[in-house]
């Protein structure tokens, strides 16, 4: 299984390209001139950010506050810059995994390439053709990543006040209004 690995990258962010309603979402890691961008769905960005926050909160709780885990993202790590250009997709993300390495006090994020159901390997086998992006970051970097990721997701179309579905500029067909434009 080919692994694209980043150990404490210079930058690891979630970002989007395009107009709200037509955005493509990416994870992007950079170390020096090396940049890797992988595509994923909006809901995957949200889940990753939420699970990172939960993981860090749990590590902090279990350590009794002794782990090097900040409660909020340090302001010096906040990154509001656009994705590095050009954004060249390495692969589309299927599954993701999170882990905490207590020895190094690092968060490990793995994003695995999406595969066809029919090509799934047997349990216990690795598919040598599946590509994985593995990033190891500090807890502070993870907090900053999660904060930015949630902002990126929230910057899209506003939700309908009645049903919560995204509103287009021309409105949308709202289920709460019996199919009329909302």
In this prediction, residues 84-101 reach a mean pLDDT of 96
- Work out whether strand 106-113 and strand 173-174 pair parallel, antiparallel, or are unpaired: unpaired
Where exactly are the structural domains of the chain? 3-181
176: CB partners within 8 A, 6+ apart: 160, 162, 163, 182
Secondary structure in 3-state letters for the chain: CCEEEEECCCEEEEEEECCCCCCEEEEEEEECCEEEEEEECHHHHHHHHHHHHHHHHHHHHHHCCCCCCCCCCCHHHCCCCCCCCCCCEEEEEEEEEEEEECCCCEEEEEEEECCCHHHCCCCCCCCCCCCEEEEEEEHHHHHHHHHHHHHHHHCCCCECCCCCCECECCECEEHHHCCEEC
| The pLDDT of residue 154 | 87
pTM exceeds 0.75 for this model = yes
Q: What are the distances in angstroms from CA 25 to CA 14, 15, 147?
A: 7, 6, 15
- Does the structure show a pLDDT above 90 at 118? no
- Does the structure show a pLDDT above 50 at 140? yes
| The pLDDT of residue 161 | 78
In this prediction, residues 126-143 reach a mean pLDDT of 91
């Amino acid at each position: 299984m080919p692994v694209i690995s980043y150990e404490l990258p210079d930058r690891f962010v979630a970002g989007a390209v395009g107009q709200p309603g037509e955005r493509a979402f990416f994870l992007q890691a950079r170390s020096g001139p090396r940049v890797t961008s992988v595509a994923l769905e909006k809901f995957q960005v949200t889940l990753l950010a939420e699970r990172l926050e939960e993981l860090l909160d749990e590590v902090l709780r279990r350590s009794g506050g002794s782990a090097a885990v900040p409660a909020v993202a340090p302001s010096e790590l906040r990154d509001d810059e656009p994705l590095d250009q050009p954004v060249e997709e390495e692969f589309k993300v299927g599954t993701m995994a999170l882990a905490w390495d207590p020895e190094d006090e690092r968060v490990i994020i793995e994003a695995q390439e999406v595969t066809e159901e029919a090509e799934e390997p047997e349990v216990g086998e690795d598919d040598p053709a599946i590509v994985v992006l593995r990033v190891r970051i500090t807890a502070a970097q993870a907090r900053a990543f999660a904060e930015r990721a949630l902002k990126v997701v929230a910057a899209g179309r506003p939700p309908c006040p009645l049903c919560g579905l995204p509103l287009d500029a021309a409105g949308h067909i709202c289920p709460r209004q019996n199919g009329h434009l909302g």
